[in-house]
Structure 1
Amino acid sequence: MQHISIDLSNLQPPTRDQPVAEVAESLPTATASKRHPSSPGGENASIYFVGTATTILEWQGIRIMTDPNFLHAGDHVHLGPGVSSTRKTNPAVDLHDLPRIDLVLLSHYHADHFDQHVEASLRRSLPIITTSHARSTLTSKGPESFTNIYDLEPFQQMMINIGSKSAGQSAPALRVTGMPGKHVPVAKPIEKLNELVGAIPPTNGWMLELGYAQNAGTFNVGYRIYISGDTLLVGDLKEIPRRYAEQNQKIDLMLVHLGGTTVPSPSLAPFTLMVTMDATQGVELMRLVKPDVTIPIHYDDYDVFASSLENFQAQVERAGLGGVVYLDRGEEYRFAVRE
């Protein structure tokens, strides 16, 4: 297990003369605040939905951002040889109106998850946990390289200390575990072609656990969040519920990437390839993982998305599944981290 430390007392707020985005004091007030659909109460943490796969989690004075993408409607991203996409929506907050971010979870190095303006604007020392492919890319840009990048393979773990503790006391901490993901269909010809042209990079999901570290070296989990990342419903994902069910570890929340991303464009069907879960696969993942609450993200922001949120809603209802919270951009989900 790897260890990094974030000492909030030593963090200096970015100044406006630095080429960084994080200059605001706080996030905008959420347009709506939602809670557990059946047992709300005791909320002490929140997830703010910016748009596409970008969320910002706040707990114990820190902010964790996932897959930062802050392009606007009409902006384009390059997704591989001959493949581009146009954004259809605006983010809930502009990149240069962000407050301080303490950690980024980057599922993979793709422009719709880490756009060119994000790459140019975030401070170079910002801790980023990602894939080995993304780490290699982000640390190989000479003077513009990011300097605090960590990579995790599936089921590798990293502890992040976010507060100090005195004798006999616990301190808030995070544990991040890499989760498997496949951004291309599991078919040898397709995988070999992708290796050759490098169109779709390797991707991770994450298990983010919020809890308290003890002096004895133990870690008591107070809340567990599974973030699927850009993956299809592949056999590797079956290992997730097996590992956590065996240890009776409940998954409190799942952030599921949907959209049925179809390249090079949904308009070119049937000569297309689906590279993220559609509504049907999203419902099957709910059945597989059995999270207490599910929040769909990454569902309508780009024109390569072919599977609508409405389709997912309808399939959830037909399947008789509950515990789904729907967030629009600018809304937040508040939850309780157990002590």
Structure 2
Amino acid sequence: MRITRIGGPTALIEWEGWRILTDPTFDPPGRTYSFALGTSSRKTTGPAVSLDEVGDVDLVLLSHHQHADNLDDAGRTALERANTVVTTVAGAKSLGHRDIRGLRAGAATVVSGPARPTITVTATPCRHGPPLTRPIVGPAAGFALTRDGAARPGLWMTGDTVLHRGLLRAAEGLRPDVMVVHVGAVRFPRTGPLVYTMDAAAAVAVIDRASPGVVVPVHVEGWSHFSEQEQAAARVFDAAPPSVRDLIRWLPLGESVDLG
């Protein structure tokens, strides 16, 4: 598997002949975007790889559509270049695309293409904020991808989520070859201490349950509402037990890295 970390939650994953793009965000930096309850965030860095450099893709994994730090204006153009988009049920209803599939947690869909293995995409649970906030922040989903004939996923993208029981149950014994974990500890001044994505300490607990082969942190830089950015998260991962610490791979922005 080869991964190019583009910025924020966005990565290009090349695996078994598939070109997979996660949560496309390609707007330039400097703009402030509005979120729910009067909250907002400024995009502080642009993509390390341009949308034109990425080109066409086979599949977009879109954890949710309602927040610009996971799907911005230029990112919507990326959806048009994808053969298939897998997202939440709400996202599939809201976005126009010739082949868009909405999944609830636990549901699966199969994607296929010429000269490449068939892949089953299974949605995993996300709770994008504290208890009872879903009506405000909206739904989100993670995705586990398993190639035809494989006993375990080759890839798990957690999506934007806090630590919760459903996530830990889904992670138990999942053993993906590669885990792309969304961190950043999203906070807003208006909502005080409330957190809307995992921090690195919460991610350690999920990684320990999932027992992946390698872990790639994303969703940790480039936006002002990420309260725990890359250096702070790296310190937490460095202090984790070796069973987690030794799995972490910080990928340089803009560089394609083979993970084996």
TM-score, reference length from structure 2: 0.89
Cα offset, 1:152, TM superposition:
1.2
Answer whether contact 2:31 2:43 (CA < 8 A) is retained: yes
Cα offset, 1:64, TM superposition:
0.8
Q: Does 1:298 align with 2:219?
A: yes
Q: Does 1:177 align with 2:122?
A: yes
Answer whether contact 1:64 1:104 (CA < 8 A) is retained: yes
What residue number does 2:258 align with?
Answer: 334
Higher relative contact order (CA 8 A, sep 6+): 1
Aligned equivalent of 2:51, options 95, 98, 110: 95
Answer whether contact 1:46 1:333 (CA < 8 A) is retained: yes
CA distance in 1, matches of 2:18, 2:216: 21
What residue number does 1:317 align with?
Answer: 238
CA distance in 1, matches of 2:78, 2:206: 35
Q: Does 1:283 align with 2:213?
A: no
CA distance in 1, matches of 2:37, 2:108: 33
Answer whether contact 1:106 1:130 (CA < 8 A) is retained: yes
What residue number does 2:4 align with?
Answer: 48
Cα distance change of structure 1 residues 310 and 237 upon mapping to structure 2, 3 Å threshold:
same
Cα distance change of structure 1 residues 318 and 123 upon mapping to structure 2, 3 Å threshold:
closer
Cα distance change of structure 1 residues 306 and 54 upon mapping to structure 2, 3 Å threshold:
same
Deviations 1:112-138 (A, max 9, x none): 111122225642774110001111111
What residue number does 1:239 align with?
Answer: 169
Q: Does 1:208 align with 2:182?
A: no
TM-score, reference length from structure 1: 0.70
Q: Unpaired segments of 5 or more residues in structure 2? A: none
Q: Give the letter aligned to residue 163 of structure 2.
A: L
Q: Give the letter aligned to residue 144 of structure 2.
A: M
CA distance in 2, matches of 1:324, 1:125: 29
Deviations 1:284-330 (A, max 9, x none): 22222221211111101100010122222222222233111101211
Q: Give the letter aligned to residue 129 of structure 2.
A: V
Report % sequence identity: 29
* SS of aligned partner of 2:232: helix
CA distance in 1, matches of 2:6, 2:82: 23
Q: Does 1:86 align with 2:86?
A: no
Which structure has the bigger radius of gyration? 1
Count how many residue pairs are aligned between Structure 1 and Structure 2.
256
Answer whether contact 1:279 1:309 (CA < 8 A) is retained: no
Q: Unpaired segments of 5 or more residues in structure 1? A: 1-44, 139-144, 165-170, 214-218
Deviations 1:13-65 (A, max 9, x none): xxxxxxxxxxxxxxxxxxxxxxxxxxxxxxxx311111101111113443110
Deviations 1:54-95 (A, max 9, x none): 111113443110100012221232222422211111211122
* 1:116-155 pair list within 5 angstroms: 116-120=73-77, 122-123=79-80, 126-138=83-95, 145-155=96-106
CA distance in 2, matches of 1:290, 1:119: 33
What residue number does 2:18 align with?
Answer: 62
